[in-house]
Each structure stands twice: as structure tokens, then as C-alpha cells.
């Protein structure tokens, strides 16, 4: 699954966003996403396979953290297109304040 596919699901984007603030146990993600635990676990698996998150054990818990390497690749993929808006810093607001 490519990074684009991995990012295709809103729940997965939310997970990345949450991990942006630092390492979290799977349970914290389950609580934040308000979604059945097995479901979150499956999304985490997709993210792992895409290389977007790392995991380490801490007793029974599994602590997830962001691996930004694929995001850097995405950034690179975007590069050739940036010339279309580079310098055009007009007011096209931060569309980005959505919840995903």
C-alpha cells in the first residue's frame, strides 16, 4: 500500500496528527478516535506497513510514534508542483484547520 493509500483514511490521518505531539500507547488512540479497539489496531497495522509509524513495547502496552520518512517523500513528490504556487502567498487561508 502506497503512502497515498495509507493517508486515504481519515482515521489514519487523525492518528498521525495525534502522534505529532509525541509517542502514545495504542489505548490512547482508541480513546481519541472513539472507534472499536480492533479497528484502530487494524489502522495502525496499515500505518506500520506504510512505514508511517514505529512501535515499541512497554510491558503490555505498545507505544506508537511517528516516522516521518514517508511524509518527507510526499513532500518531495510535491516539489515539482510547488512552482505553480511558489511566491503566490495571497490569502488562501489555512484550509487546514479541519479535524483530520
Residues lying near DNA in the complex (CB under 7 A) are found at: 1, 5, 8-9, 11, 25-27, 30, 35-46, 55, 57, 59-62
Residue pair 41/26 in contact (Cβ under 8 Å)? The answer is yes
Alpha-carbon torsion, ordered 89, 87, 99, 23, to 10 deg: -130
CA atoms within 13 A on the CB side of 100: 7
Q: Which residues 21-80 are close enough to bind a second copy by CB under 8 A?
A: 66, 68, 71-80
Where on the chain is the footprint of a second copy (CB under 8 A)? Answer: 2, 4-5, 7-8, 10, 13, 16-17, 20, 66, 68, 71-86, 90, 92, 94-96
Amino acid at each position: 500500500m502506497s503512502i497515498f493509500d495509507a493517508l486515504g483514511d481519515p482515521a489514519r490521518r487523525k492518528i498521525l496528527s495525534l502522534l505529532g505531539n509525541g509517542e502514545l500507547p495504542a489505548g490512547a488512540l482508541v480513546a481519541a478516535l472513539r472507534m472499536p479497539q480492533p479497528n484502530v489496531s487494524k489502522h495502525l497495522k496499515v500505518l506500520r506497513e506504510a512505514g508511517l509509524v514505529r512501535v515499541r513495547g512497554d510491558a503490555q502496552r505498545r507505544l506508537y510514534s511517528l516516522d516521518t520518512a514517508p511524509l518527507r517523500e510526499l513532500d518531495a513528490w510535491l516539489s515539482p508542483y510547488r512552482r505553480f504556487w511558489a511566491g503566490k502567498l495571497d490569502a488562501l487561508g489555512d484550509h487546514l484547520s479541519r479535524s483530520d
